[in-house]
Chain A
């Protein structure tokens, strides 16, 4: 029994780390902007492509291998700084205050455009750059060899969760974001520049998505279609946790990951359906997610 439980837990947490990174940006953007960004998955895959390109360049230029570690967050930051403000200032800003149908459609249109743009820029080949995985080597736990990189990811995701909570609770910008989340009208009335907060929050969301994509590259590479699959997984996790709830996303990521890993171990045919089945079951009992609450209807 012990022989199965250990790999199960480690695989579960390693999966959860990646899934959390996928969903946390989506849920953060929703909590601040109240926009469900259907193009979120595209930022994830753009981050992956950027990290793969930068990493391959670092290796190709003969620079020291440890620089590939730095290239992961760096490429995510580049994507966020370039893409975030640009898209928030134009498309997303236009959609504020419009109906959900319009918001979803605008971001769906953006999703379609970004998917093809990636194909035009990066082609249809898969990219692979695993220097970080090679440098970290492997480690044997409970009779199963794991990549040390997988364990590092677990720590990184946990650190990111704590970091985000600290950022929102203890920095000036974070507190402004929290205020806007709590009550947009009153924040505005009190003189908070909500437009700026929106832009920062959106760019932060893009950064988190791109970082998720970047961190997946060393162990899984990147190929076309990653964005669409990631998007729907992010939806599921965000909805299970409660849209807009960061700790909800973390709990949901662990639940979904464990469901998937259990499926692969004991009922492989249920592997793909696991996240959505969990989503459906949770929403049946708690339609607004584990940590979410219903908003009052306005007359």
Chain B
């Protein structure tokens, strides 16, 4: 069907061309975008907001006349079908000239698999949510852009925040999902914590499989280990299940919890107050910077009206990725005298770009990785808002926590000085 729809799209475009030069210079009837996210499986709890935000952004961009006068038309691909199917869908979409740009993918595994394909098919591709620092470690990917930032600053930021609020921490336990994201985060977080405070001990390290459903035995194990701090980057349905099962068993009373992706689940499950949460970047729609931007408020209100919930950070990452694509087209067209840009010209425009987003700035480095700020805080309540919020916030500059391109990131974290957390902005300073 995807292929039929695209054939139809191309047919419409061809008809438009045949109809005469009056219609358009050489602009297509629609700008085809391939959008990849999880819409099935337990991971959909996190992936669905991404897709919802994509639909809303397309609606809003098209309502203002599209990009350079061309409306966006998206083809959605479910990452829940497995990497093999995702690659096949990508190849099929890329093989059709009507799809000019891709926003893919949510999962780091899929980004790793798609990056070489994007280079091969020469399609500019924006990794909208995936954040593994391994993406650009071995190979360069000239057509794959990941402006939303990587795991190193994301999890070093948690280590810094934790040391700032709990300088006497001794015993930490980790429960992360059993794939690259979980293992990388565990490594980055412990390396950073030990750089800041060498006598910290890791008393338990558990990696339940993605979608495990039940965590009862893990919760017993964590309780028995008596940690001061429990760090987790579980997400989506997994995080919700973990919180639901751990809360009644008192885990969050006996230890300080750090739920790195907590913001994305706050509206679905009751996370106790005082748990350290964040947004893996700057995508908190209520942050002071975001609140100062009327566009953001408008987007959030429209999102709430349409889907019944406030936009969680995956939704903001998706929305920001659309702005990133839009900025690339605007820049490319400005550079070539208003003509419709080719895929190559769009990729060239993305290179090194700096884009103002709904929540901050996306700075693209020379290696196509992105630098964004990191917002962290604790779960709290606020008057006048019908949902949980983040209090005691800090906003770290992305560049302060990002290893230089080409350097081994784990070794770089090891060289961080012990007093870095005291030199960075302090918790509560971002108001």
The short answer to whether A and B are in direct contact, CB under 8 Å, is yes
B208 close to A (CB within 8 Å): yes
B39 touches A147 (CB 8 A): no
Residue of B nearest to A138 (CB): B248
Stretch at the interface among B40-48, B311-319, B350-358: B40-48
Residues of B close to A11: CB separation below 8 A: 216-217, 220
Query: Assuming the A-B contacts A138-B250, A220-B245, are A3 and B224 also in contact, with contact meaning beta carbons closer than 8 angstroms in the complex?
Result: yes
Residues of B close to A272: CB separation below 8 A: 178, 209
Q: What is the minimal beta-carbon distance from A92 to any residue of chain B, in angstroms?
A: 28
Q: Total interface residues on B, using CB and 8 Å?
A: 31
Residue of B nearest to A268 (CB): B206
A261 close to B (CB within 8 Å): yes
B216 touches A14 (CB 8 A): yes
Residues of B close to A150: CB separation below 8 A: 216
Query: Assuming the A-B contacts A219-B216, A220-B214, are A146 and B241 also in contact, with contact meaning beta carbons closer than 8 angstroms in the complex?
Result: no
Determine which of B42, B205, B220, B221 lies in contact with A223 in the assembled complex, contact meaning CB atoms within 8 Å.
B42
A264 close to B (CB within 8 Å): yes
Residues of B close to A89: CB separation below 8 A: none
B205 touches A126 (CB 8 A): no
Query: Assuming the A-B contacts A219-B214, A220-B214, A221-B244, are A124 and B41 also in contact, with contact meaning beta carbons closer than 8 angstroms in the complex?
Result: yes
A128 touches B240 (CB 8 A): yes
Residue of B nearest to A148 (CB): B248
A-B contact count (CB 8 A): 92
B403 close to A (CB within 8 Å): no
B213 close to A (CB within 8 Å): yes
Q: Within residues 360 to 379 of chain B, which ones have a CB less than 8 A from any CB in chain A?
A: none
A236 to B140, CA, bound (A): 45
A146 to B217, CA, bound (A): 10
A133 close to B (CB within 8 Å): yes
A225 to B205, CA, bound (A): 26
A144 touches B209 (CB 8 A): no
A3 to B216, CA, bound (A): 17
A39 to B261, CA, bound (A): 36
B220 touches A224 (CB 8 A): no
A269 close to B (CB within 8 Å): yes
Query: Assuming the A-B contacts A138-B249, A146-B249, A220-B245, are A265 and B221 also in contact, with contact meaning beta carbons closer than 8 angstroms in the complex?
Result: yes
B240 touches A126 (CB 8 A): yes
Q: What is the minimal beta-carbon distance from A159 to any residue of chain B, in angstroms?
A: 21
A144 touches B213 (CB 8 A): no
Residue of B nearest to A272 (CB): B209
Interface centre among B42, B211, B217, B223 (most CB of A within 10 A): B217
A130 to B241, CA, bound (A): 11
Residues of A close to B178: CB separation below 8 A: 272
A216 touches B214 (CB 8 A): yes
Interface centre among A119, A126, A150, A222 (most CB of B within 10 A): A126
A247 close to B (CB within 8 Å): no
B45 touches A126 (CB 8 A): yes
A125 touches B44 (CB 8 A): yes
Interface centre among A119, A150, A261, A268 (most CB of B within 10 A): A268
Residues of B close to A219: CB separation below 8 A: 214, 216, 245
A264 touches B217 (CB 8 A): yes
A174 close to B (CB within 8 Å): no
A15 close to B (CB within 8 Å): yes
Residues of A close to B248: CB separation below 8 A: 133-134, 137-138, 145, 147
Residues of B close to A3: CB separation below 8 A: 224
B213 touches A226 (CB 8 A): yes
CB-CB nearest 9 A-B residue pairs: A220-B214, A223-B42, A124-B40, A126-B237, A145-B249, A145-B250, A11-B217, A220-B213, A7-B220
Q: Which residues of B contact A (CB under 8 A)?
A: 39-42, 44-45, 80, 178, 205-209, 211, 213-214, 216-218, 220-221, 223-224, 237, 240-241, 244-245, 248-250
* A-B contact list, 27 entries, CB within 8 Å: A3-B224, A7-B220, A7-B221, A7-B224, A10-B220, A11-B220, A15-B216, A128-B240, A128-B241, A134-B248, A138-B248, A144-B220, A144-B223, A144-B224, A145-B249, A146-B249, A220-B216, A221-B244, A222-B213, A223-B42, A223-B213, A225-B211, A261-B217, A264-B206, A264-B217, A264-B221, A269-B207
